[in-house]
Structure 1
Amino acid sequence: MLKKNLGEFNRRADHISDATNKFFGQQVPDYIKTLPSIKKDSIRWAANILYFGVGLMFYWAVSAVLRRMPNMEQFPANVAGMIVLYFLLMCARTVLPKQTDNLVKFIDPYSSFALRSMNVMFVPPVVLIVNNPPTAGPEVGRMICVFLVGYFVGFTTCTLIVRFWKMVLYGTCNRHKQAPHLPTSEKVKMHKNKTLEEEEVHIAIPPGPTDLSKFNSTVSAPGVVHQVSNGAISCASTLPGGSIASAPEHEEPDHSTDNNRVVYERYKPRQKHGPLHVFALWCMDQSTFDDLTMFIIFCICAFVFLPLPADSPALPFFRLFLYLTMTLLLYSASCRLPAKVRLVVHPIILTAACVMAGIAYFEQVKGSNIHHGADLYKNGVSFVSLVEKTNVAWPGAGDILSATMDVSIISMAFNVYKCRPDSFREWMIVCFSVAPMAFLVMFVTPLFAHGIGCTPADSIVWSSRSVTTAIGMVIGNILGANQSVVTCIIVFTGIMGPLVGPTLLKLARVKDDDFMTIGITMGSNSHGVGTAYLISKNPKASGLASIAFALFGTIGVIVASIPALSQTVKHLGGY
């Protein structure tokens, strides 16, 4: 009896489900479709947060060890953590090669996310420009001259140096002729560079049709065949070899009405809308789960932050998430602008400018100014100070992004491991190319700046232009340079890589498959930003770029830590 009743219940449930699907047809509510995606995105975010938490703990451990080593307390823990992690991976590979490769593959989605997100972590140093003292116009002109000439000369020189050493060690500049030292088949299978090209399928449709009989034809595109007959649409994918795998046809006659409605909605004449309506449609089309989540948090924090009194103990908490979500949303929107706009205004610059405007507005509401807001945006509270209780306070949004940048730099060890050089000769090319570039930047650039009339304080800041922010701050502190100016120069130097790097490589006739020249040149001249740019464009080159700028920064810290060499840099700068 129980089985009979249960079977009847299941039949009725199936009948109700079929009736519901028949009633809705293809117009199933969007919130029902997005439920599995929301669950998947939530798990992804939880895994990413866990990855960053583990990375911060590793960063803290490396920092604690460095402070107990003689003459190593000033060495940046993030770069040291990257070197240590890469060394551990290589040691593990000698013992358990397959297990190590599987571990790297398992961690790859999270480390790649950290590397792809690195650009937004450079926004806080640019925001702090507002606290810099004003500079005279002639001095700004000389600084721009040093910046442009130094970058173009350094980029071209590095390209020539890499090509020279490739010719000396291999007798050719072509990567394809270097067959003797190619990796084994297993390593090629794991590390070969696969790029996915997005194809846009354009189907020519007559304007403004209303008669469905006009579409009883087959419209073909690369890899896709669309068949429209009697108001019913079917899609078929072309398989390798020319065969066609068609989707199963629907036998229910009631679905034709829904298909007719879909075809009519697709091909009916478009109405003209106002700019505000078009912008709203663009936001809806471009928005993702991440953007929607950040927007909800931003609205809640803004709704609570604005009426809170200035002396409320909850104000720092809501200010933190208000400015953090504002930065992430603005950067996400900046990256979705047309490519032509992003070539003129880089997302980092545009995001920093909009963040400054947002901070100025919110602080003005609270009766303060943008300088006070910038100090609270990045107030110097680090993860290490919180763990060791040396500076316990609410961190700013810039401090959170700086902490994630430390994890991103450590994550480059996985990218270096995947795209590591295949032979000892490649390691020689990296070292012999980076060392002259470090000498050129640290010694020649300050001399050139002083030679054209820059002040000594503005001349020595150029000695750390091609290293990442964390290392540049250390070098600038040792040399006594202005930290804010050093940070701005480092950020703008990194931005130059995505902006003009591809053009300079084309002018130098560097082929797209010459990953050694691309990676070493971008890493030596545009540090972390150039490396992050190559993550999706050329993963193999990004691995060499990680090695190049890490080695470059290591040489810079060593040079600045030796008193005789640091005094030479100051003397060349005019001191």
Structure 2
Amino acid sequence: MSVTDLVYNSKMNDPLHSNAGHPSTEPQEAFTPDSSESASYVAASQSTGGTNQTSQEGGYSLSDFVQGISHGLYYSRGHLWHSYVVIPVGIVILFTILYGLNKLLTSVIKITFPCSVLGMLINLVLLCVLNVLANLEGNNPWKVRVAQVATVSFNKYLTLIKPPMNFTLKWINVFFIPSFIILPLSDPITFIECLKIAGVFVIGFLLLLCVDVYMILSLQWVLKRFGLLKLDSDAHQVVESSSSSTSEEEYELDEFPRSTSVGVFTTMRDDITTIDIPRNEKITATREVRQPRGSNVSENPFEHDPPPQPQRVYLRGGEQSSIVSSSVLQPNPSLPTRAPPVLVSTVETPREIKTPLNLSPNAQRITIFLTKYIDWTLYCTLFVVSLPLYYVTSIHTFLPYHLGITILSYYLALLIPQKWPQLKKIAHPILISTAEILFVCFIGSLIYHNGKPKGFIDDLKFYKTGKNYLNLFNGKSMAESGKIIGKMTDDYTATSLWPGCGDVLSSLMDISIVSLSLPMFTHRRDFVRNFWVLMPPIIVSIALTFFCYPVFCYHIGIAPERSIGFIGRSVTLALGTPLITALNGSISLMAVCTILSGICGVLVGDPLFKLLRVKQNDYVTRGVSLGINCGAIATAHLLNVDPRAASMSSLSFSVFGTIMVVLASIVSVKDMIRSWVGL
């Protein structure tokens, strides 16, 4: 048995990775070092023989650490290359494109519009165009040639954009944290105004949810009455097969496996979307399309044209049925030949090593630990290195210090629902990590400022300075989310031109906005098929949210900026940030309301649907209503409960937020809203 086998077996035995092959809706138990190390030691003893067992009695030597660390880095080289080279390079390229789009909008066209939303729309249109061209059929030579070029271009384009975009979608919750961290810097709010905000939030949430639910149910009844909408007899069961329903619907849903990334467990899957690349028979016979290198995708899945595999059937609660009909196993000759979907591996297959490595058990333990927790190790190292940079008075640099704290806090917050499953719904990682970050930063600032609490607020101004990728090269010192500052005290910080941790994360959130085009493209057929059920409630919700919230809030005594901030209550934070920024409203209030809306949707969604008599198998009503009112957090919850409802939810909040951002970018609409609240 090789060291790689030991690492792999230890991963499978580790509760943090135990659901890699078979995702479960139930959280796993927290990692227990004793049991894992014991299992690793037994396997190590069997593989290395009795000669190495005697060395187990001694302590760790310098040679053990050197060999363990070197081999741990060696076995993690693929993950390190993909996560710390390929993805960052792709993100930098996307930053460059967005920076160019921003300059085009602001300097050439002279309009105010978020470059991230424009990039999302451009990418969505490009994907749709390439897909249409790749689907051209016929014996005309030029059509065959165009289909060939489009298919190759489609594949190569996805190879470039999917790693960074999947990364930003997978970790999108981290990018929301800065909006909560800077809450102590917000203007003070009275207790009475706080009660008014809470009342508007609760009543508005319930009313808008009821309006959306009954509107969707009414539209379904009317359209079905006139034969314009055919509802599934059992919409909760979704079968991905090669039958006639597949050619008609072509759902691009996967089983949403949890992340199998080395060292960190999340409830999100590594590959957020599965985009099928349709291929013509003539193209298949003349050419070979390779999948993205370094991804968990089987290369050349069409090379041997294997028979279809047993397909998955989604049942209630996310369970999967093993019953397979004969029509699934046999291809349907009446259907046009299409390429099977891209196969995403749910288990990390270890590489085979022909020559076993004679490492001591202690070195094997270090190798296994480092390979499993390489990300934890790197960010712990970053935090340790940042401590002298923060506490040396002449330097006092914030970026590495805050970044290390933020990432480690989020990692720890992810483990809480695993240790205490009863807290799964309410212990949201954003809330938990925010409390951890503020606590650690407060203690650290007390140490640096000799016990003066004011130092905590002064340091927090540099958590998000406003120097994101759009303002990085303006040559101005900034702090407190974009305020231009004069000369600081000589010994306060030596890096006043550096961005803060919040600027890095908020810049990545712009990439995640562009990345929303991937799930929108993936579920485009759901959008077309349910267009007349999807759009009316979205338009009505936009009208109520955009034009009613600020007026009502202002007239009951809520501050103008906060009244505008309520417009983004139902919009996911990724799109709500550019929305409220364009209207010059309160980003802090919007962020709090958005996160709380998502959590409320997870907590009270099912009881409310039961009270409103929404059928358990009505994935359209559940998905659209939660998507409009609860955004990305509720969508993540639906991934584990009803994937088809999750697709409708992702479509709903993406379209809902995009239209809201477009409205906010119209100068006349913006001025009208601001005038209504006395600005």
| TM-score between the two structures when normalised by the length of structure 2 | 0.60
Tell me the CA shift for residue 150 of structure 1. Answer: 1.1
Identity %: 23
Which moves more between the two structures, 332-341 or 539-548? 539-548
* 1:369 alignment partner in structure 2: 455
Going from structure 1 to structure 2, the CA distance change for 1:71 and 1:477 (only over 3 Å counts) comes to same
Tell me the CA shift for residue 369 of structure 1. Answer: 1.6
Whose radius of gyration is greater, 1 or 2?
Answer: 1
Query: Is the contact between residue 127 and residue 154 of structure 2 (CA under 8 Å) also seen in structure 1?
Result: no
Distance across 2 between alignment mates of 1:189 and 1:37:
38
Tell me the CA shift for residue 435 of structure 1. Answer: 0.7
* 1:158 alignment partner in structure 2: 212
Match of 2:378 among 270, 273, 293: 293
Tell me the CA shift for residue 132 of structure 1. Answer: 1.4
- What secondary structure sits across from 2:422 in the alignment? helix
Distance across 2 between alignment mates of 1:376 and 1:462:
26
- What secondary structure sits across from 2:548 in the alignment? helix
Deviations 1:280-319 (A, max 9, x none): xxxx8997322222112212222x235412x32xx32xx2
Going from structure 1 to structure 2, the CA distance change for 1:557 and 1:307 (only over 3 Å counts) comes to closer
Going from structure 1 to structure 2, the CA distance change for 1:355 and 1:103 (only over 3 Å counts) comes to same
Distance across 1 between alignment mates of 2:645 and 2:370:
33
Going from structure 1 to structure 2, the CA distance change for 1:84 and 1:19 (only over 3 Å counts) comes to closer
| Superposition pairs of residues 79-98 of structure 1, within 5 angstroms | 79-97=117-135, 98=151
Distance across 2 between alignment mates of 1:463 and 1:117:
25
* 2:61 alignment partner in structure 1: none
Distance across 2 between alignment mates of 1:104 and 1:545:
26
Query: Is the contact between residue 391 and residue 448 of structure 2 (CA under 8 Å) also seen in structure 1?
Result: no
Going from structure 1 to structure 2, the CA distance change for 1:19 and 1:491 (only over 3 Å counts) comes to closer
Which moves more between the two structures, 62-71 or 372-381? 62-71
Going from structure 1 to structure 2, the CA distance change for 1:390 and 1:362 (only over 3 Å counts) comes to same
Distance across 2 between alignment mates of 1:487 and 1:517:
26
* 2:564 alignment partner in structure 1: 460
Deviations 1:404-457 (A, max 9, x none): 111111111112112223463423333222110111112233344356554555
Which moves more between the two structures, 489-498 or 519-528? 489-498
Distance across 2 between alignment mates of 1:376 and 1:197:
35
Going from structure 1 to structure 2, the CA distance change for 1:498 and 1:399 (only over 3 Å counts) comes to farther
| Structure 1 residue identity aligned to 2:652 | A
Distance across 2 between alignment mates of 1:494 and 1:183:
37
| Superposition pairs of residues 257-268 of structure 1, within 5 angstroms | none
Deviations 1:500-555 (A, max 9, x none): 44554455455666443343223322334444555565555444434323332333
Distance across 1 between alignment mates of 2:46 and 2:586:
70
Distance across 2 between alignment mates of 1:115 and 1:157:
30
- What secondary structure sits across from 2:516 in the alignment? helix
How many equivalent pairs are there?
A: 468
Distance across 1 between alignment mates of 2:520 and 2:47:
55
Query: Is the contact between residue 467 and residue 500 of structure 2 (CA under 8 Å) also seen in structure 1?
Result: yes
Distance across 1 between alignment mates of 2:381 and 2:435:
22
In the alignment, structure 1 residue 56 sits paired with structure 2 residue 95: yes
Tell me the CA shift for residue 90 of structure 1. Answer: 0.4
| Superposition pairs of residues 159-558 of structure 1, within 5 angstroms | 159-171=213-225, 174-176=231-233, 185=246, 191-195=252-256, 288-302=373-387, 304-305=388-389, 307-309=391-393, 311-312=394-395, 315-316=396-397, 319-337=398-416, 338-367=420-449, 369-386=455-472, 393-422=497-526, 424-450=528-554, 452-469=556-573, 471-477=575-581, 479-505=583-609, 507-508=611-612, 510=614, 514-534=618-638, 540-558=644-662
Distance across 1 between alignment mates of 2:46 and 2:633:
53
Tell me the CA shift for residue 334 of structure 1. Answer: 0.9
More helix by share: 1
Which moves more between the two structures, 451-460 or 395-404? 451-460
Query: Is the contact between residue 193 and residue 538 of structure 1 (CA under 8 Å) also seen in structure 2?
Result: no
Query: Is the contact between residue 179 and residue 587 of structure 2 (CA under 8 Å) also seen in structure 1?
Result: no
* 2:9 alignment partner in structure 1: none
Query: Is the contact between residue 116 and residue 532 of structure 1 (CA under 8 Å) also seen in structure 2?
Result: no
| Structure 1 residue identity aligned to 2:207 | V
Deviations 1:26-55 (A, max 9, x none): x99994985664223212313322332232
Distance across 2 between alignment mates of 1:390 and 1:539:
47
Query: Is the contact between residue 466 and residue 499 of structure 2 (CA under 8 Å) also seen in structure 1?
Result: yes
Query: Is the contact between residue 627 and residue 635 of structure 2 (CA under 8 Å) also seen in structure 1?
Result: yes
Query: Is the contact between residue 185 and residue 457 of structure 2 (CA under 8 Å) also seen in structure 1?
Result: yes
| Structure 2 residue identity aligned to 1:134 | P
Tell me the CA shift for residue 374 of structure 1. Answer: 1.6
Distance across 1 between alignment mates of 2:245 and 2:447:
63
Going from structure 1 to structure 2, the CA distance change for 1:407 and 1:465 (only over 3 Å counts) comes to same
Tell me the CA shift for residue 195 of structure 1. Answer: 4.7
Distance across 2 between alignment mates of 1:109 and 1:477:
29
Distance across 2 between alignment mates of 1:53 and 1:187:
39
Distance across 2 between alignment mates of 1:465 and 1:34:
45
Going from structure 1 to structure 2, the CA distance change for 1:414 and 1:420 (only over 3 Å counts) comes to same
Query: Is the contact between residue 86 and residue 163 of structure 2 (CA under 8 Å) also seen in structure 1?
Result: no
| Structure 1 residue identity aligned to 2:133 | V
| Structure 2 residue identity aligned to 1:192 | L
Which moves more between the two structures, 421-430 or 532-541? 532-541
Distance across 2 between alignment mates of 1:495 and 1:469:
13
Distance across 2 between alignment mates of 1:472 and 1:40:
36
Query: Is the contact between residue 399 and residue 499 of structure 2 (CA under 8 Å) also seen in structure 1?
Result: yes
Distance across 2 between alignment mates of 1:187 and 1:35:
48
Which moves more between the two structures, 332-341 or 441-450? 441-450
Tell me the CA shift for residue 130 of structure 1. Answer: 0.2
Distance across 1 between alignment mates of 2:636 and 2:382:
27
Compute the RMSD of aligned alpha carbons.
4.0
Distance across 2 between alignment mates of 1:24 and 1:187:
61
| Structure 1 residue identity aligned to 2:566 | W
* 1:256 alignment partner in structure 2: none
